[in-house]
């Protein structure tokens, strides 16, 4: 395993599809996604409705999770109802006024296409976000607007394209006041500026003070458990786990506070051999509930002797949106460097590909 203080270009040769540059260029992807969102079409039906159903899987669904988290943390956003559906069928009975966003980066996600077909029986307020594929064909056939995004990436690497067109779609609904819209734009500008700075920092693998590289070195060889609050960073928690699982090919699990304090915390006693091979990340935000902050502190004290390490990670920025993406970007780079330390090519997902082949064989 290379040491982060001596990591060289040669160590990165395992990165066969150049995820390094994809991560480094993420700020530019965000800029492009913002432009797409601002110019994107709207639902055919202009009637206002506060109910949004987002259809997606994997990397295409996480944009919906983040949108829900963000909106639930701004005052006017609490008046909007968001549900992210990861299934072939719909989670509840929708009406003709339900806003449906079908998000599939490839356009060929079978669960999303199936759910959209079912949604079309009840409402025409459907819009698609995709780079093409069967979803785009179905949308054109049914007269649904399409927000076209660039292809050629792994869906998990296209978070900017998944999130920002949805954000600007919500901003066009007329359900947010002008002051709120102005605050969102200000937050977006701060977010982009912060990502530019972090891209330079995290891509410098020769820098011994690179935080993402140091974190990857610290937790290499362990299974990871990620904790965060339920109301602030739940979607970021999921993003971290998924990136570590797919990019690093590393076990990663997670749960939310305060619920885990009522059950999961008691499980670290046994088997001790496994607990000693676990690294815990605490994803924290300055606006976490005061009692949740106390719970984080208590966790560090109570579990420090049971696991290999406990590390707190928080985002930088005045706005919640900027802090949200700051932690995401840290986790993305962490997962990349952990892949290098694990001797794993970060882009291919061999077991997922084999599973899909089996599904197609039996379809």
Q: What is the DSSP letter of 346?
A: S
User: Helical H runs in the chain?
Assistant: 19-24, 26-39, 58-71, 110-119, 133-142, 159-171, 178-202, 211-219, 234-247, 272-275, 290-303, 320-342, 350-361
Sequence-separated (6 or more) residues with CB below 8 Å from residue 272: 306
Contact 68, 113 (CB under 8 A): no
CA-nearest of 293, 221, 299, 288 to 260 is 299
Catalytic site residue from 13, 38, 356, 358? 356
Contact 327, 297 (CB under 8 A): no
CA-nearest of 101, 115, 109, 116 to 59 is 109
| Cis-peptide, bond into residue 258, ω within 30° of zero | yes
Catalytic annotation present for 316: no
Mind giving me the DSSP string for 299-344? HHHHHTTTSSEEEEEE--SSSHHHHHHHHHHHHHHHHHHHHHHHT-
- Positive or negative, the Cα torsion across 154, 246, 23, 192? positive
Catalytic site residue from 121, 141, 262, 301? 262
Catalytic site residue from 111, 136, 246, 284? 246
Catalytic annotation present for 218: no
Cα 160 from Cα 182, distance rounded (Å): 20
| Cis-peptide, bond into residue 271, ω within 30° of zero | yes
Catalytic annotation present for 262: yes
Secondary structure element (H or E) that encloses residue 85, with its range: strand 81-85
Q: If 0-12 CB within 10 Å is exposed, 13-18 middle and 19+ buried, where does residue 314 land?
A: middle
By annotation, the residues acting in catalysis are: 246, 262, 356
């Amino acid at each position: 395993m290379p040491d982060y203080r001596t990591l060289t270009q040669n160590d990165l040769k395992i990165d066969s599809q150049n995820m390094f540059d994809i991560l480094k260029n993420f700020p530019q992807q965000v800029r492009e996604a913002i432009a797409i969102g601002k110019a994107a079409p709207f639902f055919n039906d202009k009637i206002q409705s506060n109910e949004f159903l987002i259809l997606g899987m994997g990397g295409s669904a996480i944009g919906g999770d983040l949108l829900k988290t963000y909106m639930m943390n701004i005052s006017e956003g609490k008046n909007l109802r968001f549900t992210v559906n990861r299934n072939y069928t719909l989670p509840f009975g929708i009406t003709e006024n339900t806003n449906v966003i079908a998000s599939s980066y490839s356009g060929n996600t079978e669960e999303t296409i199936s759910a959209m077909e079912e949604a079309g029986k009840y409402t025409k307020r459907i819009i698609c976000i995709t780079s093409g594929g069967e979803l785009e064909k179905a949308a054109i056939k049914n007269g649904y607007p399409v927000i076209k995004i660039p292809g050629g990436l792994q869906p998990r690497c296209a978070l900017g394209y998944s999130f920002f067109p949805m954000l600007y779609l919500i901003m066009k609904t007329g359900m947010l006041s002008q002051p709120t819209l102005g605050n969102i734009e200000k937050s977006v500008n701060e977010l982009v500026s912060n990502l530019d700075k972090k891209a330079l920092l995290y891509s410098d693998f020769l820098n011994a003070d690179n935080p993402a590289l140091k974190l990857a070195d610290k937790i290499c060889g362990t299974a990871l458990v990620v904790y965060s609050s339920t109301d602030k960073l739940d979607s970021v928690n999921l993003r971290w786990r998924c990136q570590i699982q797919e990019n690093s090919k590393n076990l990663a699990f997670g749960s939310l506070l305060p619920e885990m304090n009522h059950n999961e915390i008691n499980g670290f006693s046994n088997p001790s051999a496994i607990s000693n091979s676990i690294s815990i990340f605490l994803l924290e935000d300055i606006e976490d509930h005061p009692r949740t902050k106390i719970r984080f502190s208590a966790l560090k004290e109570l579990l420090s002797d049971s696991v290999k390490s406990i590390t707190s990670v928080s985002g930088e920025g005045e706005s919640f949106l900027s802090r949200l993406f700051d932690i995401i970007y840290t986790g993305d780079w962490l997962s990349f460097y952990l892949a290098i330390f694990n001797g794993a090519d970060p882009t291919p997902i061999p077991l997922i590909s084999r599973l899909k082949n089996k599904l197609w064989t039996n379809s």
